[in-house]
Amino acid sequence: MALTIHTDHLVVGSGIAGLMLAHKLGQSHKVVIIAKESLSENNSSYAQGGIASVLSPEDSFNKHIEDTLEAGAGLCHRDIVKTVVEAGPKVIRELISLGVDFTKREGGGKTQPYHLTLEGGHSERRIIHADDLTGAEVVRALIAQIRTNPNITIYENTFAIDLLTTDKVSPIFSQNYCLGAYAFHRDSSEIFEIRSVATHLCAGGHGKVYLYTSNPDVATGDGLAMGWRAGCRVANLEFMQFHPTCLYSQKEKTFLISEAVRGEGAVLKTADGKLFMQNYHPLQSLAPRDIVARAIDSEIKKSGVPYVYLDARSIGIDKIKDRFPNIYRVCLEQGIDMTKAMIPVVPAAHFSCGGLVTDSVGHTSVTNLFAIGEVACTGLHGANRLASNSLLEALVFAGRVADHIEANGILEAPQVPSIPWRSTGSIEPDELVVLTHTWDEIRRMMWNYVGIVRSDKRLQRAYAKIVAIRQELETFYWENQIDTSLLEVRNLADVAFLTIRCALKRKESRGIHFNIDYPHPIDNPAPIDTVIW
């Protein structure tokens, strides 16, 4: 390892949380931001629906707060919910000032110029969006700001391997400091050390731990796995949200059909064309996501057909083409004209409500290490995320972390000399097949045993399997040279292990987590529960 980079702030991950944080910190600090692939390839870029915020005179902060608490099934932290919801309008104004082109309302005036849509669990229209490509539009605008800031250095195609902490290299025992990270450049295969005053984990998505997911291939839980290995507390990983409506297709299994389609009038129907959501919830097709996902799962098991239908025909041709141009285009590419035919859909892993436990300004349990976005467990989402609160959370907490640092600075860490990376061995081409098989084994195991409906027996089987897989991977990891596939599978195995442990600890059904052996919730759960190390 020939290179050591020094910076004030290291931002790991280039989703909306990392980009907004880098933009804010970069106004007065030196920032290094690393992206596993290109700066624009991240979970945020695939977010379709929008950002939940109180922007209508018919809406109120209290309504948004209560909707969030209702969806969170008793595990939300009310103070965090209030803080995030009330910061929403300011965040939206800031995005507009940075050049985000939100969809305008037809005939809209100065008081309410933007189109707001409705999604499941919301009592009012409060989802501001950029057609059906909101995440990509926000990412575009933030990248434009970052690329012109001389204080920000960007490393693309760069994979963070592990965090560098005092516990690992020079233990203090009373306090564990994060000093930066080791990084692997995918093009040159060079491993280098990044030393930072503060480190920020913003690489949160881990949907690829499941066989079917709306997440892109980069969502392998890298930030979560690194944070846990560094000593961060972890909680609520049993609450993986399954988006109810992903396109079912032999050609395209991961494309998400936004909840906003149901907000505009689409309804769910069985494989033989009958309405069914009235049997599960008064809000029917606009019920909270956990209820809709379980209902679809139940109907699929009843019928034996591996999908149900989303019928959007009542929305109308012109409105579909105008409001959902990208969804319309992708469905057409799959041979489905959603203006004339129903869309086959299936639930898929979408968003984790758990992660590295943080306080109200993003601190983890490791000093000078912050977590923002999906990698963090802030207390906002509880046992089930309210639709479109995720981008809001990422943006609000990016601002809170930056403001806290400006006001309070960073604790001075002990001086630790550079620790060269020791790498031995090599990965033979035929050995990469082992990684592919392991990746597939983990994802199928999680889908079959730790999916929408669980049982103690399934979870115990999954735990035995993941313990054996991790033991094999640990040997493989230390005997072979670093490779992207190896790093991703290692992280996926750690995320699966943590998710199963969390699920085993929760002896109830709540929100997204449904265990047939404990079908009812317990009384008075803690706001952030099932904390593990």
Residue corresponding to tokens 């080791």: 182
Token couple for 70:
């209702």
Q: How far apart are CA 181 and CA 201, in angstroms?
A: 11
- 458 strand-pairing partners: none
Task: Considering only CA atoms, give the Rg of the chain.
Answer: 22
Residues in the chain: 533
Q: Which candidate in 195, 262, 289, 510 is catalytic?
A: 289
Which CATH code fits 4-48+75-97+136-238+353-405? 3.50.50.60
How many CB atoms are located within 10 Å of the residue 369 CB? 29
Return the SS3 of 192: strand
DSSP characters over 343-374:
EEEEEEEEEES-EEE--TT-B-SSBTEEE-GG
Return the SS3 of 148: coil
Q: How far apart are CA 77 and CA 452, in angstroms?
A: 24
Q: How far apart are CA 376 and CA 136, in angstroms?
A: 22
CATH 3.50.50.60 positions along the chain are 4-48+75-97+136-238+353-405
CATH topology of domain 429-505: Methane Monooxygenase Hydroxylase; Chain G, domain 1 (1.20.58)
Cα dihedral 287→289→293→296 (10° resolution): 30
Could you report the per-residue pLDDT of 348-386, keeping only the tens digit for each? 999 999 999 999 999 999 999 999 999 999 999 999 999
CATH 1.20.58.100 positions along the chain are 429-505
Q: Nearest to residue 9, comparing CAs of 161, 149, 180?
A: 180
Token couple for 116:
């707001």
Return the SS3 of 326: helix
Is 289 one of the catalytic residues? Answer: yes
Taking a C-beta distance cutoff of 8 angstroms, is the pair 232, 369 a contact?
Answer: yes
Which residues does 396 contact at the CB level (< 8 Å), separation at least 6? 83, 84, 87, 88, 91
Taking a C-beta distance cutoff of 8 angstroms, is the pair 309, 342 a contact?
Answer: yes
Q: Against a cut of 0.85, is the pTM above it? A: yes
Q: CA-CA distances (angstroms) from residue 159 to 48, 162, 184, 323, 364?
A: 26, 9, 5, 36, 21
Q: How far apart are CA 337 and CA 310, in angstroms?
A: 12
Sign for the pseudo-dihedral over CA of 290, 92, 223, 345: positive
Q: What is the pLDDT along the chain (533 residues), one digit of tens a residue?
A: 458 999 999 999 999 999 999 999 999 999 999 999 988 888 888 888 899 999 999 999 999 999 999 999 999 999 999 999 999 999 999 999 999 999 998 876 667 789 999 988 899 999 999 988 899 999 999 999 999 999 999 999 999 999 999 998 888 878 999 999 999 998 888 899 999 999 999 998 999 999 889 898 899 999 999 999 999 999 999 999 998 999 987 654 578 898 889 989 999 999 999 999 999 999 999 888 888 999 998 999 899 998 999 999 999 999 999 889 989 999 999 999 999 999 999 999 999 999 999 999 999 999 999 999 999 999 999 999 998 999 999 999 999 999 999 999 998 888 888 777 776 666 665 567 788 899 999 999 999 999 999 999 999 999 999 999 999 998 888 877 888 999 999 999 999 999 999 999 999 999 999 999 999 999 888 777 666 66
Sign for the pseudo-dihedral over CA of 295, 300, 302, 303: positive
Could you report the per-residue pLDDT of 396-455, keeping only the tens digit for each? 999 999 999 999 999 888 888 877 777 666 666 556 778 889 999 999 999 999 999 999
Q: Nearest to residue 134, comparing CAs of 242, 247, 24, 44?
A: 44
Q: CA-CA distances (angstroms) from residue 119 to 75, 128, 258, 389, 490?
A: 21, 11, 9, 11, 36
Q: How far apart are the first and last CA of the chain?
A: 31
Q: What are phi and psi of 187, to 5 degrees?
A: -80, -45
Token couple for 400:
């809170």
Q: What are phi and psi of 222, to 5 degrees?
A: -65, -45
Architecture of domain 244-348: Alpha-Beta Complex (3.90)
CATH 3.90.700.10 positions along the chain are 244-348
SS (H, E, C) 244-260: EEEECCCCCCCCECCHH
Q: How far apart are CA 467 and CA 459, in angstroms?
A: 12
Q: How far apart are CA 477 and CA 483, in angstroms?
A: 9
